[in-house]
Chains A and B, each alone.
Chain A
Amino acid sequence: MLKTVEEIQQAINDIDQKMKSSEGLAEKDHIILLLASLMEEESHGSPREVR
């Protein structure tokens, strides 16, 4: 799991670079962002109550 977190962090850094250069994101980038947001949500006890 820890390895996955590190790999995702690295992938997100690459996505940030892409976004800075106004390049559109590809499907693989959105998959990374989905996984990152899901892991963050899970770490708060899924899913956080918003209301």
Chain B
Amino acid sequence: MAAQEKSDKILSANNKKTIALIQLTRIGDLVQTLIACKPLREQHPDVRLILIARPQFYSGIKFLLDEVFDEIYSFDPKVLIQDNLDRSKEEVKRLVSRLSVENISALINCTYSRPSAYLCQLIKADHKLGPWYDEHNNLRINDPWSQFVYSNVLETTLNPFNLVDLFKKIIGIRAEEKSQVTKEPPHNSRAHKITIHPFASASRKQWKPSKWSEIIYKTLKDNPQVTITVLGSEKEKALADEMISKPTLKNLKHRIISKVGKTSIQDVYKLLKASDLFIGHDSLIGHLAALAGVQTLTVSLGSVRPTETTPYHANAYLLSPRTKCFPCKPNDHCDYFQCHSDISYQATSACINQLITTREISGDALEKNNSSFLIGAVDIYKSELNSESGFSLIKISTSPVSLADIYRKYYRIAWSFILDKKDLCTDFPELSSSTHKELYASLENIQQLYELNEFGKKYSRYILEEISSEAPKISKIKEFSHKIDEIDRLAELLSGANPYLGPIVNFYSVKKGNLKGDNIVQLAENSYLTYQEASNFCSVLHEFIEKNILQFKRSDDTATKPKSI
């Protein structure tokens, strides 16, 4: 009876468009996917929205997912992998046939893993976005923003977009008009209730308990009205006990409430909603805090890429170390986490005290009241949500802007222009004499990459000319094709020598690997167009840098303010 009702529900729902999302990764990614889909639900209440996710990750936040998704399909490895291959195959077929009843218009794979790409292959849909395997077992990624994620998020540290915005771009969600639910902190009112989550998914992303003890001590000592609630899971209980049981906190224990190992995610969400400020590392709880509309201060360490995963709301502050190797990759070997030391507890406490008393962080005030030795090792950012350009991090500390930040700004404008046809109006990044010098040196590499792409165009055109000749020779076509391979290898060598060009080389390599076309003419034409686009990208980047350098020279002479790009 229940099955019949469900089938009827799906059949009646089939009159409307169905969009299915595959998100098989962790809870944090699921929350980011949920935040991305919220405006879709608001803008298109008539669309049937379904999610395919692992129960171990979605079950805790189902109360939130149910507000946005009409149905959640379970992709459970424990069910799919049986002790007998035939039974395993039956389980996969059962899942796929249940999904085939949905009559999916668009299937969007937001996970970049092999199982998700095979699942995407098996599910029938009118349109497929994100990675999937074709019938010859080749990985296909046809849409440009999924190509961007595959080539930039996983491979470089220069992605300028938050993951929520990237999911929105892949799905095709319009920018929000009324973008935020974050409650504006009341003016002249101090924060009283602080919630902290001093843990993350890996030790490289979190401080040791002793550092958090210092911060808790300083915060409570300086702010007698404040109480601190500590959040964490059962497996983090030992670390939390170590943190709270420090002798320095003995007389302050009555103002520390430990909820570690005692709460469900729904309880955590309620606690966050009642808080004035959330402080933590990069983790699920930060994303929940953004959903709950509470001000956040995130301490990013290790392999965290702040631009991608800072809680997506307009009231987020972020501390990140200026350590040269930050951010690292999850598997990089590291004996001594220099980035953990570079954000001192004093600098963090100074920021927390400002947030408690004024509800904002002022870079000038920090510099005035604290040693530059402590503040100078940290970059401090505030989030900005713009209906046109989405989420961005604005630097508020006065330390010089890093070359990586400068490139991210260029790339943000260039990718928006090339892939979205959006013309973002923004200021030039401020250069220092050292970044100016490095940028100036980069111009030659960009010119070389431009020339390589022009060669790519030339040999793609030669292939087309050979095909259209009276007696096309296969040997000639092969020769030009080898030249193109050579050009691509040289581009990779160039990006090895100048990693700031990695985003362009990686993206166009993925794009060339997914050229559209059923025959050699179409493939050669699309190869030509891809090299053309890559050439244009290099021209745009070259022009930005030239103008920025010129503007720096002028402002150096006349001390004028930066002008818009």
Shortest distance from the beta carbon of A41 to any chain B beta carbon, whole Å: 6
B118 & A42 in contact (Cβ 8 Å cutoff): no
Other-chain residue from B81, B93, B135 in contact with A42 (beta carbon distance below 8 A): B81
Shortest distance from the beta carbon of B548 to any chain A beta carbon, whole Å: 29
Does B82 reach chain A (CB closer than 8 Å)? yes
A residues less than 8 Å from B92 (CB atoms): 31, 34-35
- Which residues of chain A in 5-51 are interfacial with respect to chain B, using CB atoms and an 8 Å cutoff? 7-8, 11, 15, 19, 22, 24-25, 27-28, 30-35, 37-42, 46-51
Other-chain residue from A1, A19, A28 in contact with B81 (beta carbon distance below 8 A): A1
Does B421 reach chain A (CB closer than 8 Å)? no
Does B153 reach chain A (CB closer than 8 Å)? yes
A residues less than 8 Å from B111 (CB atoms): 47
Shortest distance from the beta carbon of B80 to any chain A beta carbon, whole Å: 6
Shortest distance from the beta carbon of B330 to any chain A beta carbon, whole Å: 5
Contact A51 B89, CB 8 Å, known A1-B83, A34-B115, A46-B54: no
Does B133 reach chain A (CB closer than 8 Å)? yes
B24 & A31 in contact (Cβ 8 Å cutoff): no
B308 & A34 in contact (Cβ 8 Å cutoff): no
Contact A51 B308, CB 8 Å, known A11-B85, A25-B136, A42-B77: yes
Does B202 reach chain A (CB closer than 8 Å)? yes
Does B422 reach chain A (CB closer than 8 Å)? no
Q: How far is the CA of A35 from the CA of B342 in the complex (A)?
A: 44
A-B contact pairs, 13 of them (CB 8 A): A4-B82, A4-B84, A8-B85, A24-B136, A33-B137, A34-B119, A34-B122, A35-B85, A38-B81, A38-B115, A47-B54, A50-B112, A50-B154
Residue ranges of B at the interface with A (Cβ–Cβ < 8 Å): 24-26, 54, 56, 77, 80-85, 88-89, 92-93, 111-115, 118-119, 121-122, 133, 135-137, 153-154, 201-202, 303, 305, 308-309, 330
Residue ranges of A at the interface with B (Cβ–Cβ < 8 Å): 1, 3-4, 7-8, 11, 15, 19, 22, 24-25, 27-28, 30-35, 37-42, 46-51
Sample of 12 further A-B pairs with CB below 8 A, known A38-B80, A41-B115, A51-B153? A3-B85, A4-B84, A15-B137, A19-B136, A34-B122, A35-B85, A42-B81, A46-B77, A47-B25, A48-B113, A49-B26, A51-B308
